[in-house]
Amino acid sequence: MFYFFLSAILIYSASLLGSLLFKNFFPSILGVPFFLLLIGLVFSPFFVFLFLLAPSLHIFFILLFSSTIGLFLTLSFVIWQKESVSDTGAVKKSLKILVSIFVISLFMHGICNLVSEVELRKSIEQAKSLGLKLRIEEIIPPAVPDEKNGAVVYEEAFTLVDSLQKRYKEEWEYVFPTSKYIPISNVGQLLEESTLEEKNRLSRIVEDPEFILLYKLVEKAVKMPECRFDVEYQAGVDMSHTQIVKMGEAAKIVAVKTGLLVSEGRFQESLDSAILLWKMGDSFANEPLLISQASRTQIKQVSIYNIKKIFETTTLVKIPQEQMDELIKISKDKEMELFLNGFIKGDTTVYLSLFSSTKDRLDGYYFEDVLPFPFYGSYLLRPIFKKDQSCYLKFFVKRMELFSEPYFVSINKSKKLDEQFADYKSFKTKKLLFSSMLLTSNRFFLKRQAEHIVNLDTLKLILALKIYHDKHHNYPNSLALLAPNIIPEVPIDPFTGKDYIYRLEGKGFVLDSAGAKKE
Amino acid sequence: MRPLIQKELREHQLFFFLSLAFVLLSVTILIIFKHKINKNNIEWIQMLFYIAVPFIFAVLFGTLPFTKEFTQNTKPFLLTHPVSSTKIFWIKIFTALASLLILLVSYILRVRFFLNIFTVLKIMLVYQEL
C-alpha cells in the first residue's frame, strides 16, 4: 500500500514537470513515461549507489522514490521560477540541472566501484593466501597416461553396470527404487533389513558372469597407480558428472555383494569386498569437486559399515597387513584436507567461474530463469557485481577456516557466520544475486565432515582394539592403552572434543560417539 | 494564501467529483456484470483497478494545476497576487496532491471493500470448476 501511494506521487510529480514544460494537457500526459525513463537513465548510477548503501529493500525503495520525486519537484520548481521572471531559458536551466545531477550520479557510482574494487581485491588476496584457486584451470588434476589410469578400466566396468541394470531391472528397482533416492551409504542397512527371499533375488545379480567380470575389472582398476576421470572441468557449472554417477552405481552393486556375503556369513570374502569398496572410494581422492568427494565418503561409509558388521560378528577374519597398516594410519588431517579440497575449494572455484564470464553464463544453464537482470555483468551494475563476488569469496574464506577446526569448535563459529552471511532472506545478502543463490549454511557440510571423521575414527579404533586383542587376548580397559604402540594417538570425538565412549561389555566392547547421537 | 488554496480546490472540485463518480460507476458496472467475470479476465480487471485507474488519477491531477494557467493564460494574472511565486508553486502542488491523496484513499477503501467480492468470486469460480 505504501508503494502504491509512492508510485502515485512519483507519477504525479512527473506529470507536474510535463505540464510545466509542455504547457498543454495532452502532451504533458504523453510525456510522463518519457520523463520517467529519462530520470531513470540519468539517476541509474545513483540508484546503484543507493542499492549498495541501503540496509533493507524497503529503505532502498523509499530512497529511490523520494530522490526521484525530489528531482521532479526541483526541476518543476526551477522551471516555474524561471518562467515567472522571463519566458525563456527554463528548458536550458533544467537541462543544466539534469547534466549536473548525472555527473554527480556518475561520481557516486565511481566511488562505489572503487570501494567494491578495493574490497574485492582484499578478498581475493585473502582467498589466495589460504590456497583457494580462483580459476578452474588451476584445480584440474594433471592428465594421467591411459596405462596408469584406473578410470580407463572403470569405464569398461561402467558398461557392464549398465548392462546389469537393464537385465536385472526388477531386482535393481527393489534395492534402488526410482521413486526414492537411496544413498550408497545406506545399502548395508537396507540389505540387513531385507527378507531372505529378497536377498535371494539380489543374489542373482552378483552371481551373473557379467558381475563377476565387473568385480574383476574394479579389482584391476583399484590396483592402478592413478585414477583420473575424464570430467569436463572447463565447462564450469555446466560440467556433467556422468562418471561420478556411474561410479556410484558400480559401488552400489559391489556394496550389495558385500552385504550379501556378510549376511551369508562368508566373512573373509565380505571383508575383501568391503576393502575393495574402500579402495573404490579412494579413486576419487584427487577429484576436486563436492560431488566426487561426497561419493567418496559415501562409498567409504558403506565399506566401514560392513567392516564393523564383520568384526561385530567374528574376530576370525584377517585383514591383509598392507590394508591394516593403511586403515590404522588413517589421518584425520588428510581426510579434512580432502574434504576442504573437494567440498570447499573445488566447488568454490567452479562457481567462481560464474563471475568471470557472467554474460556468457547468463545465456545458459539454470540461471537464465533466476537472474532478473540480464545485464548483471554490465558497467552500470559493476559495483554490485564486485560486491557480490567479494561477499562470495569472504564467505568461503571463512568456511575454509571453519573446516580446518574440529566440529565442536567450528559449529559455534558456523552459527555466527551463518548469521552474518546466510541470513539469506535479508536484503544484505539477497541483493547480491550470486551470493544469495550460492551461499548455503555451513552446518550440513560440517556435520557431514564430522560424521565421516567419526566413521573413520571408530573403524581405526576397532582395528586397533583387534590388534590389541590378538596380542593380549583381551581388550584394554581404556582406549589410552592403544597409543602409542598400536596407533600414534587416540582420536577425539569431533562432536564433543572428548574421548569416544568406550567400555567393556561381556567378552566384547562398546565403542560409540556421544556427540553424533546427540546431533 | 487562503483564497489561493480555495481557488485551487475549486478548480479541482469538478475533476475530483468526476473521478469519484468514475470510481463508483466502475465498481457498479463490475457488480452488474459480475457474471461475465471469469478466470481469464479477473487478473486484468484487478490490474485495471489496482494499477491503471489510480495512475490515471495521478497523471490527471499532476497536469491539471499548471496547464490550466497556461491554456487559459491566467498565469500573469496569478503572479500579480501579493504572494510570492514560490508560495504559489507549493500551494498548487500541495492542494493537487492533497486532492489526489484523498481520492486515492477513498478509492483504496472502496477497492478493499470490493476485494472481498473478488475473493468470493474467485472461490465461486473454483467451485464451478469442481
Element housing A501 (H / E): strand A501-505
User: H or E segment at A515?
Assistant: helix A514-518
CB-CB under 8 Å, B96 with A15: no
A263: contact with B, CB 8 A cutoff: no
Contact by Cβ (8 Å): A293, A339: yes
**Do B89 and A80 make contact, defined as CB atoms within 8 angstroms?**
yes
Q: Is A404 helix (H, G, I), strand (E, B) or coil?
A: coil
Joined grid coordinates for residue A322: 598392507
Chain A residues with CB-CB distance to B93 below 8 A: 16, 73, 76
At A516 the three-state DSSP class reads helix
B94 shares contact with chain A (CB less than 8 Å): no
Task: Identify the pLDDT of residue A87.
Answer: 61
The alpha carbon of residue A11 is apart from the nearest alpha carbon of chain B, in Å, by: 6
Distance from B38 to chain A by nearest Cα, in Å?
26
C-beta of residue A387 within 8 angstroms of C-beta of residue A52: yes
Best mutation site among A15, A22, A74 for testing chain B: the one with the most B CBs within 10 Å? A15
Chain B residue closest in CA terms to A86: B76
A118 at B interface, C-beta within 8 A: no
Dihedral (Cα; A122, A124, A130, A136), 10-degree rounding = 180
Closest to A135 (Cα-Cα) out of A124, A121, A120 = A124
Name the 3-class secondary structure at A23: coil
Query: Pick from A349, A296, A339: which is nearest to A449 by CA?
Result: A339
Distance separating alpha carbons of residues A324 and A171, to the nearest angstrom: 34
Nearest to B89 among A14, A29, A77 (CB): A77
Low-confidence ranges of chain A (pLDDT < 70): 85-88, 175, 330-333, 343, 356-375, 377, 421-430, 515-519
C-alpha cell at A130: 589460504
Is residue A17 a contact partner of residue A35, using CB atoms and an 8 Å limit? yes
CB atoms B71 and A23 under 8 Å? yes
Provide the residue type at A28 as one letter.
Answer: S
Tell how strand A508-512 and strand A501-505 pair up.
antiparallel
pLDDT of residue A217: 93
* Residues in chain B closer than 8 A to A4 (CB atoms): 50, 54, 104, 108
- Grid cell, residue A258, equals 558385500
- Cβ atoms of residues B65 and A19 within 8 Å: yes
Which residues are bridge partners to A508 per DSSP? A505
B113 HSE (CA, 13 A, CB side): 11
> Is any Cβ of chain A less than 8 angstroms from the Cβ of B40?
no
* Residue B74 at interface with chain A, using a CB cutoff of 8 Å: no
A293-308 pLDDT, tens digit per residue, is 888 888 988 888 888 8
**Which residues contact residue B3 at a Cβ distance below 8 angstroms, ignoring those fewer than 6 apart?**
none
Residue A26 corresponds to which cell in the numbers above? Answer: 495532452
Task: Count CB-CB contacts under 10 A for residue A391.
Answer: 23
Which residue, among B66, B87, B94, B110, would best test binding to A if mutated, counting the most A CBs under 10 Å from its CB?
A: B66
pLDDT at position A129 is 87
Residue A17 confidence (pLDDT): 87
Task: Check if A27 contacts B (Cβ < 8 Å).
Answer: no
Whole-number pLDDT of residue B111: 65
Is the ipTM above a cut-off of 0.95?
A: no
In chain B, residues with a C-beta closer than 8 Å to the C-beta of A29 are 59-60, 63
Residue A500 DSSP label? P
Question: For chain B, give me the number of helices (H) and strands (E)?
Answer: 5, 0
A-chain residue closest to B91, CA distance: A77
Query: pTM higher than 0.90, yes or no?
Result: no
C-alpha cell at A391: 561477499
Across the interface, of B55, B62, B67, the residue whose CB is closest to A13 is: B62
The candidate with the shortest Cα–Cα distance to A340, out of A285, A280, A392, A278, is: A285
Of A12, A24, A84, the CB nearest to B97: A12
Pick out chain B residues at pLDDT < 50: none
* Amino acid (one-letter) located at B33: F
Distance, CA of A354 to CA of A410 (rounded, Å): 28
| Mean pLDDT over the full length of chain B | 75
pLDDT for A369 equals 45
SS3 A135: coil
Inter-chain residue contact A8 with B55, CB threshold 8 Å? yes
Taking CB atoms and an 8 Å limit, are A12 and B62 in contact across chains?
yes
Q: Which of A18, A83, A84 sits opposite B63 (nearest CB)?
A: A18
Contact of B104 with chain A, judged by CB distance below 8 Å, is answered with yes
The residue among B15, B47, B59 with the most chain A CBs within 10 A of its CB, best to mutate, is: B59
Could you give the maximum distance between any two Cα atoms of chain A, in Å?
Answer: 111
Q: At a CB cut-off of 8 Å and minimum separation 6, what does A508 contact? A: A475
C-alpha dihedral (A71, A72, A73, A76), degrees to nearest 10? 120
